[in-house]
Structures are given as C-alpha cells and as structure tokens.
C-alpha cells in the first residue's frame, strides 16, 4: 500500500484519530495534508491513556513512525510547540516530526480576524473554531501569506509581516475597533517560536516522494470531513481547505496516481459542530441520547455536537467525491439498545424525492429525510472482535449501509480503544 488516504465521510469527528492510529502502525509515514489546529483527534492507547491531538499527526503515538505536517496545513507556531511539549512531558518521542517549508503560518492577526469577523456576522456566523484557520487560508490564496520557511529569513519575514499588517491593522482598527498589532512584536514572537522548531523544517514533498520510490508506505491523514470541504461541502458552512481525497495530493505533494486506497471514516450516525444545514439532525431527547452515549463534545472547542441519524445520501456522496475504496464504520456500539434504528435513504425536497446530494444550497436547507426503520439490537457489542460476533441486527445494519452507500465496510469500531475494533476482508 504505497499511499493511502484516510478522510472523514461526514462533517468531521467521525473518529479518524483511532483509524489513523491503527493504520499508522502499518506504515512508515503519517502526513497531515490540510487544516490546522481546528482539528481534534482523540486516540486511546491500549494502556487506557488518551491523547487529544490537534495539529500533529496521530502517527506520533506509534514509535518509529515519521510524521509530516504537509504543505497544505496551516500551522500556529505557539500551538505546535505547546502540543510538542505536552507529548514530550508524557514520554512520547517527537523526534520524527517534520514540517513542510511551504506550510503557511497562522499569525496572531489571523486569530484576531477570525474572532472579530464571526462576531460581525452575528446570526449568519459559520461557527468557526476561532483558531485563525479561514484568515490564514485567505492570505495564502491572496498571496500575502507567511510560510514556515520564512522564519529562516528574518528580513523576508519582517517584510511580509509589515506588508500584511499595513492592511490588516486598518481593518482591525477602523472596521472592528480593535487594537493595531505591532510589526516588530509579531516578528519577534514568531521568530522566538521558529527557533524552537527550525530543525524540523524540511522539503517534505521531496522526502515523501523518495520514500515512495524506496517502497515505503504513507498514510495521508485528513482532518474535518467531506461536507466541510470548501469545494464539496455545505458551503459557506465549511472550513477553508480541501479535506476530500484530492486535497491529499495537493496538500502533500504526492501525485494522485500514487494513492491506491481511500478509506472513508463513517460514523454509524451523524454529528456536526458549528452552523449549517443538517437534514437528519435530532433536536429531541433522542439527539440528547446520542450526544450523551457517544460522548459527542468537540475535542477542540468543547462545544456539544449536533447529533442525528445516519444519512446514506451523505455516505453515497462521500464515496463519489473521494473515490472511497472502503469504510471504517465507527461507534456502532453507541446505537446498541434501540428498538429500531432509522436510516435516511433519500430526501424530499419541496415535494420531490431526491437520492443524491441536492445541487443548490437552498435545496440542502429544504431537504427532509426519508427514513427506513431497521430493527435494533440490545446486546453490548464492545467485546465483539469478529463480524460474526455481532448480533444479527447489527450485522444487517452494516450490510444496509454498504448497500446504500456503494462501498464495503472493512473495519468497525465497537468502543474507543485501539483494540475495540472488528476488521473484515472486503
């Protein structure tokens, strides 16, 4: 398996951390290719210790694995150092972490802009994580961004910050009534951080391609999820990067022809944080039940996640836009104990039946789920380790998801631990 991609098939928080952690032990390299510290991956190790990772690839927890923050990521240098220190304090070896020279830096003014623009949007806000992700990507595309390699050249860093602040300070002060940022102060802060990780900066696309040539395997770890993709998601309620599988090639510098497998991480029900449409959302006691049973609270912001039933329209869409080869179905155990489990098989939009993701934002907002009721199961499935160990109704649920989405389920999560997983040959 030369290069495999792991992506979220829904709105993020599908349990990618666990999947990448398991797969990470089978590859030499784990690469983050987009997003930044808006992500939150929880990994529970066999000794019961859990780790919440935001920026650093989950592969860091597997000794000997080389980890890369790819060019498509936006890096907050302070967060990077804090996360490294926290891991090191717990005895994790972080020496294998490299950072692409071309990744963009999240600067203090990006975080400031993220917060003020959200406040300014009022009811129309996106519900961002407030970490400066959108403003950092805006600067990247506007060609006024600061890249990781810029910390190696103080003169160029100063020029870039000066140019950026000449405009941003006007906006911060005149539009949002905030304090202007001082160029020297920003440069000094970033340089002080940079000195501590300068030895990790590398031409990662060169190293990754050499690794592939040498027959090594690479896991490309996506953050967020398909429906948060800036192109394929529920725009404008999306993040500012491309979590979908195509983004893995762009955000790492690995050619798409090298990617042989795309694993979609699919939660057995659906969750979302932040604003935006969510057809199968449950605003009643059942939604609360899923939130409580599934521990559905954001790893990064601590916000309660919105919860709803499984949506096969989204699953099919994810298969299509990512070229998913197989699914890792997570949190099946959360559905134990229900008389019936509804699954959304299509939508009604203004009286029309639709089986695929609607074309317009308006139609997505008007989509009313059409449900099929599947019989539930009452057994505790957390000790199941083979597909045949599962109760018949749980197996039927998995089979129905495969039929409705068009991709096989190769692994099933039945609990948070690394070992609480069923794998299947598909």
Q: What are phi and psi of 32, to 5 degrees?
A: -90, 135
Q: Which stretch binds ligand IMP (CB under 6 A): 78-86, 163-171, 237-245, 343-351?
A: 237-245
| Rounded-to-integer distance, Cα 110 and Cα 125, Å | 17
Contact in structure between 344 and 269 (CB atoms under 8 Å): no
Q: Which is nearer to ligand IMP, 273 or 338 (CB)?
A: 273
Q: Which is nearer to ligand IMP, 38 or 100 (CB)?
A: 38
Of the residues 10, 65, 224, 270, which one makes contact with ligand IMP according to CB under 6 A? 224
Q: Is 228 in the site for ligand IMP (CB under 6 A)?
A: yes
Strand ranges inside 119-255, DSSP E: 201-202, 218-221
Q: Shortest distance, CB of residue 227 to ligand IMP, whole angstroms?
A: 10
| Rounded-to-integer distance, Cα 110 and Cα 106, Å | 6
Of the residues 13, 76, 102, 420, which one makes contact with ligand IMP according to CB under 6 A? 13
Residue nearest to ligand IMP (CB): 274
Q: Which stretch binds ligand IMP (CB under 6 A): 178-186, 234-242, 255-263, 336-344?
A: 234-242
Instruction: Considering the candidates 21, 41, 114, 366, report the single residue annotated as catalytic.
Output: 41
Residue 158 annotated as catalytic:
no
Strands 29-32 and 66-69 come out as: parallel
Of the residues 34, 67, 204, 239, which one makes contact with ligand IMP according to CB under 6 A? 239
Query: In the chain, what is the greatest distance between 2 CA atoms, to the nearest angstrom?
Result: 66
Q: Is 135 in the site for ligand IMP (CB under 6 A)?
A: no
Q: Is 416 in the site for ligand IMP (CB under 6 A)?
A: no
Q: Is 230 in the site for ligand IMP (CB under 6 A)?
A: no
Q: Between the CA of residue 255 and those of 4, 9, 71, 102, 209, what are the distances in Å?
A: 12, 22, 14, 17, 9
Burial call 134-166: b when 16+ CB within 10 Å, e when fewer: bbbbebbeeeebbbbbbbeeeeebbebbeebbe
Q: Is 330 in the site for ligand IMP (CB under 6 A)?
A: no
Instruction: Considering the candidates 13, 21, 139, 326, report the single residue annotated as catalytic.
Output: 13
Beta-bridge partners for 75:
105
Contact in structure between 11 and 50 (CB atoms under 8 Å): no
Residue 21 annotated as catalytic:
no
Of the residues 57, 59, 247, 274, which one makes contact with ligand IMP according to CB under 6 A? 274
Q: Is 261 helix (H, G, I), strand (E, B) or coil?
A: strand
Q: Is 131 in the site for ligand IMP (CB under 6 A)?
A: yes
Give the residue ranges of DSSP H helices in 265-334: 285-293, 312-322
Q: Which residues bind ligand IMP (CB under 6 A)?
A: 11-13, 38-40, 126-129, 131, 133-134, 223-224, 228, 237, 239-240, 273-274
Residues annotated as catalytic are 13, 41
């Amino acid at each position: 398996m030369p290069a495999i991609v792991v992506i979220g098939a829904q709105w993020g928080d599908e349990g990618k951390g666990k999947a990448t952690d398991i797969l990470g032990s089978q590859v030499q390299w784990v690469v983050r290719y987009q997003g930044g510290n808006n992500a939150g991956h929880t990994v529970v190790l066999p000794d019961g210790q859990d780790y919440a990772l935001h920026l650093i690839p989950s592969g860091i927890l597997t000794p000997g694995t080389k980890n890369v923050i790819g060019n498509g990521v936006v890096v907050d240098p302070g967060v990077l150092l804090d996360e490294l220190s926290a891991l090191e304090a717990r005895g994790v070896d972080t020496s294998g972490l490299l950072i692409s020279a071309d990744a963009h830096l999240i600067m203090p003014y990006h975080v400031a802009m993220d917060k003020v623009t959200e406040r300014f949007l009022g009811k129309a806000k996106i519900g961002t994580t407030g970490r400066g992700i959108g403003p950092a990507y805006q600067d990247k595309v506007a060609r006024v961004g600061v890249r990781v390699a810029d910390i190696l050249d103080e003169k160029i860093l100063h020029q870039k910050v000066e140019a950026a602040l000449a405009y941003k300070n006007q906006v911060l002060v005149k539009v949002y009534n905030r304090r202007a940022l001082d160029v020297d102060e920003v440069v000094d802060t970033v340089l002080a951080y940079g000195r501590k990780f300068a030895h990790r900066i590398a031409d990662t696309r060169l190293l990754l391609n050499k690794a592939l040539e040498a027959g090594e395997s690479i896991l490309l770890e996506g953050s967020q999820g398909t429906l948060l993709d800036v192109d394929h998601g529920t725009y404008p309620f999306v993040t500012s990067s491309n979590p979908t599988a195509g983004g893995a090639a762009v955000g790492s510098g690995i050619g798409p022809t090298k990617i042989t497998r795309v694993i979609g991480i699919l939660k057995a029900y659906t969750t979302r944080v932040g604003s935006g449409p969510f057809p199968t959302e449950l605003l009643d006691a059942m939604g609360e039940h899923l939130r409580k049973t599934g521990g559905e609270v954001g790893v990064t912001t601590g916000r309660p996640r919105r919860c709803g039933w499984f949506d096969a329209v989204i699953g099919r869409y994810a298969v299509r836009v990512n070229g998913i080869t197989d699914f890792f179905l997570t949190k099946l155990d959360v559905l134990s104990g229900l008389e019936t489990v509804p699954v959304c098989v299509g939508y009604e939009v203004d009286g029309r039946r639709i089986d695929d993701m609607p074309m317009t934002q308006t139609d997505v907002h008007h989509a009313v789920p059409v449900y099929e009721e599947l019989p539930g199961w009452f057994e505790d499935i957390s000790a199941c380790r083979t597909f045949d160990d599962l109760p018949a109704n749980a197996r039927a649920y998995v089979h129905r998801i495969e039929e409705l989405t068009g991709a096989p389920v190769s692994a099933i999560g039945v609990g948070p631990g690394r070992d609480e997983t069923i794998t299947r040959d598909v």
